[in-house]
Amino acid sequence: MAVLHDINQAAAIADTMVFMKDGALAASGPPGQVVNAATIRDVFGVTARVVEDPVDGTPFCLARP
């Protein structure tokens, strides 16, 4: 188990990710299922685009203005 605040690093190395919001579980599962624009918006209030990393196929989050 590791606690990381870099979503892209976590998605690259984790088998399962857990997102917390206000002390409660917001999402959990494999990175390919939980790292998406909706989760990022709901948990962090940030508009993001999530693409597939061309090297390893993991999700890669890009914050949008």
Q: What whole-number distance in Å separates Cα of residue 12 and Cα of residue 31?
A: 8
Residue 59's nearest CA partner among 4, 5, 20, 10 is: 10
Q: What is the pLDDT of residues 9-29, one digit of tens each?
A: 999 999 999 999 999 999 999
Band (pLDDT 50/70/90 cuts) for residue 43 is very high
- What is the predicted pLDDT for the residue at 25? 97
Residue 61's nearest CA partner among 24, 25, 19, 22 is: 19
Output the DSSP codes for 33-57. Answer: HH-SHHHHHHHH---EEEEE-TTT-
- What is the predicted pLDDT for the residue at 65? 80
